[in-house]
């Protein structure tokens, strides 16, 4: 089983002390490649440094999460543009809208999201997108830009069927995390995941967040890491009524095509 984790926050401080061990465990569990999420100017710079240090295994995104939109200035814009020109940066993002926490004012989030849509359009890179409690504004802006960007994945999709169908109609890809393994709040996703065509579905841990609740025994530290991606793959396979090998092969091929990665020999 060859899995590809399209969203791992490996620059997070919880990985500082043992990243090499984390990467080795991932490899031992079939996760040979990971895309390191960039969520701020500094975080994106570090994500690219990690990708550069592990060519062919780690790749990076470059973007500013809506939580940090308030920090986005001209220097940030220039920095993201510079990073996104590196071939190891395979998407612009994490960007989007988050009205759940509103750490940055909505009008700032909207403006900063659009700046990054512009970067993706100009540099012809796909988008790595975050949306929480902001579907209407998010889809309206995405609809205006969709034809100008080569691709868009709505990462950590947890929203409604209506939102899912809006994204699929816009030819977006969908990223599914361990949220689907949570029997308390992920059950609606178990039905919806059947509606996603295999060539639109990708999987991600969002590590260190969202440890799948199906991991046994649950590690005491509760840190999620890419080695657990298989649990997400297996839950999705169960829900879609297919073999986990099929889900794995399809999601990996979909991610390779979406991010422009060469298939492994």
65 and 130 Cβ atoms separated by less than 8 Å: yes
226 and 203 Cβ atoms separated by less than 8 Å: no
DSSP string, 217-228: SPPTT----GGG
Residue closer to Zn ion, measured from CB, 39 or 181: 39
What is the 8-class DSSP label of residue 56?
A: T
The C-alpha atoms of residue 228 and residue 90 are separated, in whole angstroms, by 23
Rounded least distance, CB 33 to Zn ion, Å: 20
- Here's the x/- map for Zn ion, 127-166, by CB under 5 A: it reads as ---x-------------------------x----------
Size of site (CB under 5 A) for Zn ion: 2
**Residue of minimal CB distance from Zn ion?**
130
Rounded least distance, CB 145 to Zn ion, Å: 19
Burial of 97 (0-12, 13-18, 19+ CB in 10 A): buried
Rounded least distance, CB 75 to Zn ion, Å: 23
The DSSP bridge partners found for residue 93 are 128
Residue closer to Zn ion, measured from CB, 32 or 226: 226
Nearest to 172 by CA among 115, 126, 213: 126
Residue closer to Zn ion, measured from CB, 50 or 64: 64
Residue closer to Zn ion, measured from CB, 154 or 193: 154
Rounded least distance, CB 263 to Zn ion, Å: 27
Rounded least distance, CB 242 to Zn ion, Å: 27
Nearest to 260 by CA among 96, 62, 87, 118: 87
Residue closer to Zn ion, measured from CB, 112 or 156: 156
67 binds Zn ion, rule: CB under 5 A: no
Give the interface with Zn ion as residue ranges (CB under 5 A).
130, 156
């Amino acid at each position: 089983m060859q899995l590809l984790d399209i969203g791992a926050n490996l620059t997070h401080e919880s990985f500082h002390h043992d990243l090499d061990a984390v990467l080795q465990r991932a490899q031992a569990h079939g996760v040979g490649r990971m895309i390191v999420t960039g969520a701020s100017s500094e975080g994106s710079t570090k994500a690219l440094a990690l990708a550069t240090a592990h060519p062919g295994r780690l790749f990076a995104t470059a973007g500013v999460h809506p939580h940090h939109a308030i920090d986005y200035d001209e220097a940030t814009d220039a920095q993201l543009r510079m990073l996104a020109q590196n071939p190891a940066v395979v998407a612009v993002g994490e960007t989007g809208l988050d009205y759940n926490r509103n750490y940055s004012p909505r009008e700032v989030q909207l403006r900063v999201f659009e700046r990054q849509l512009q970067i993706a359009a100009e540099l012809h890179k796909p988008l790595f997108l975050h949306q929480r409690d902001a579907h209407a504004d998010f889809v309206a802006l995405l609809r205006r830009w969709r034809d100008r960007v080569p691709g868009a994945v709505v990462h950590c999709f947890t929203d409604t069927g209506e939102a899912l169908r809006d994204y699929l109609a816009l030819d977006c890809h969908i990223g599914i995390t361990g949220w689907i393994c949570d029997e308390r709040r992920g059950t609606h996703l178990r039905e919806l995941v059947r509606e996603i065509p295999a060539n639109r579905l990708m999987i991600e841990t969002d590590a260190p967040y969202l440890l799948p609740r199906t991991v046994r025994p649950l590690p005491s530290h509760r840190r999620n890491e890419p080695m657990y991606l298989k649990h997400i793959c297996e839950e999705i396979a169960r829900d879609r009524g297919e073999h986990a090998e099929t889900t794995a092969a399809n999601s990996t091929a979909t991610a390779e095509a979406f991010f422009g990665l060469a298939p492994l020999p």
